[in-house]
Amino acid sequence: MRFHGYFRSSASYRCRIAFGLKHVEYDLRPVHLRRGGGEQNTPDYRQLNPQGLVPALETAGLVLTQSLAIVEWLDERYPEPPLLPADSDQRALVRGFAQAIACDIHPLQNLRVLRFLTSELELDQAQLDRWCQHWIGEGLMACEALIAGNEFDFAFGDAPGLADICLVPQMYSADRFGVDLERMPRLRAVRDRCEALPAFAAAHPSRQPDADA
């Protein structure tokens, strides 16, 4: 399996955690989003993924895109350990939490959007910081509320799963953008437990071969 990703991309980070939890090896093809005009914009990469985004997973003549689709595919192909609950109701809650991050937080603060805001709409750094802190802060506070009543070690159970896979990279971004995480004790506790696990630790951006020096 060829995995096209970028060390700092939240969506790539999610997939790396899932690969680690499943003990599935992959052949990394780094796509440097900031080098030159961005390697994601080359004709070869656009041929692979017309969105020009990472990650993309090539496997047996198939190209899969979108991190949540890739993680669910991995979970179906390599069932152990499961990343989603067996019960439909619980599965819907986990997917809802994951999508609250993947649909309503992350897309607003990824590189292409921040670039458009600065280069096309000429926002300054203070406005950009306000934008990022607003969406990440508000979004994570909602996530905190979604799992406030759960007393599990992880977001939705006593083993990590899809929700945790989305949470940890988003908390990493929140830190980078200076979001105040003090208000989110439940999320921080889950994040800390995740980061103590080898699969999460090995997936951290700073541990990737393509990480900036």
Spell out the residues 6+ positions from residue 198 whose beta carbon is closer than 8 angstroms to its own: 20
Shortest Cβ distance from residue 176 to a copy of itself (Å)? Answer: 20
In whole angstroms, the minimum distance from the beta carbon of 169 to a copy of itself comes to 14
The encoded tokens of residue 198 equal 């080898």
DSSP 30-77: E--TTSTT-GGGSHHHHHH-TT--S-EEEETTEEEESHHHHHHHHHHH
- Least CB distance from residue 207 to a copy of itself, whole Å? 25
**DSSP letter assigned to residue 62:** E
Q: Is the distance from CB of 36 to CB of 24 less than 8 angstroms? A: no
Contact code string over 74-93 relative to a copy of itself, x by CB under 8 A:
--xx----------xx-xxx
Residue 205, both tokens: 């951006």
Q: Does 72 bind a copy of itself (CB under 8 A)?
A: yes
Task: Give the helix/strand (H/E) hosting 63.
Answer: strand 62-65
**123 scored as a contact of a copy of itself (CB under 8 A):** yes
Stretch that binds a copy of itself, among 33-41, 124-132, 168-176, 185-193 (CB under 8 A): 124-132
102 binds a copy of itself (CB under 8 A): yes
Among 1, 114, 142, 159, binds a copy of itself (CB under 8 A): 142
The Cα–Cα gap between 16 and 138 comes to: 26
* Chain centroid, CA 95 distance in Å: 14
51 contributes a contact to a copy of itself by CB under 8 A = yes
- Where does this chain bind a copy of itself (CB under 8 A)? 50-53, 62, 64-66, 68-70, 72-73, 76-77, 88-89, 91-93, 95-96, 99-100, 102-104, 106-108, 113, 116, 120-121, 123, 127, 130-131, 134, 139, 141-142, 145-146
